[in-house]
Amino acid sequence: MSIIVTAATGQLGSLVVEKLLERGAAPETVTATARDESRLKVFADRGVKTATLDYTKPDTIASAIHPGDVVILISGDAVGQRVPQHQAVIDAAAAAGAARIVYTSAPAATDTTLILAPEHKATEELIAASGVPSVILRNGWYTENYVAALESGRDRGEIVESVGDGRVASASRVDYAEAAAVAALDESLAGQVLELSGDYAWNFDELAATVAGIVGKRVVYRSVTPDEHLEILKSAGLDEGTAGFLVALDGNIREGLLAVTTGDLARIIGRPTTPLAEGLAAAVA
């Protein structure tokens, strides 16, 4: 039996491997996988097993997963292609007789208007239909998503968004990675759907103040309308589709979809989630 970590060269997957080892998993019981196995040498040198696993090549997936394995399925980053890619992993896990699938999903994936949710909803349904026991980790927003806002504050003294008075209960990527490691190691979590988020939902005035403290200059939050925001993003060089996507995300924040604080993440990892200031500072260190 091994704990299979997909996308282990990615920002989240690599941290999941680290957290598994920190949580006491023997290196030889962990298999880090990626499209390019050579990029996993840093883990191989520490005794972690490695394998090629490409979401778009089912034969690589089938050869990487074995009976009794726990598969940590890190959601892919190819928006619009994730469902078939995830299905290939789920099908291979079911065929191999995997013990569990741990999947990194999205907040309230099966009952939300969050623009990112549909592919995660479909993946959760595929996992349920597969018959493989699972732990669904509905990861909230990452603090690291606001590095660009920090850079804007540093360079221009303002953070421009169309979130209105919306709040975000973010946590650091390391917090979510630790939760995935715990879910893989703790059999008692099988069957659970966990809504993961930071302990505190901050607003964008607080984000601006936090950025000001990090960069050492005055930073303000400038609230604009969605239409104004769209034009600002397009004038900055973003294409219509990308700009529209970002404005829609701000709309989701305005609607309160990323402000939910359940306490599940802190409970699972056994400590408070990383505060906004600490997480942002670490992200740009």
User: Global pTM?
Assistant: 0.97
What per-residue confidence (pLDDT) applies to 157? 98
Q: Using CB atoms within 10 A of its CB, is residue 236 exposed (0-12), middle (13-18) or buried (19+)?
A: exposed
Residues 239 and 81: their CA atoms lie apart, in Å, by 20
Written as six digits, the tokens of 164 are 């209105």
Q: Hey, what CATH topology would domain 140-171+197-260+274-285 get?
A: UDP-galactose 4-epimerase; domain 1 (3.90.25)
What per-residue confidence (pLDDT) applies to 117? 97
Residues 186 and 183: their CA atoms lie apart, in Å, by 5
Nearest of 252, 166, 153, 151 to residue 209 by alpha carbon = 153
Express each pLDDT in 181-210 by its tens digit.
999 999 999 999 999 999 999 999 999 999
Q: Which residue has the tokens 């997963």?
A: 65
Residues composing the chain: 285
Residues 151 and 162: their CA atoms lie apart, in Å, by 18
Express each pLDDT in 36-91 by its tens digit.
999 999 999 999 999 999 999 999 999 999 999 999 999 998 888 999 999 999 99
**SS3 assignment, position 213:** helix
Residue type for position 176? Y
CB atoms < 10 A from the CB of 125, how many?
Answer: 13
Domain range list for the chain:
3-139, 140-171+197-260+274-285
Q: Hey, what CATH topology would domain 3-139 get?
A: Rossmann fold (3.40.50)
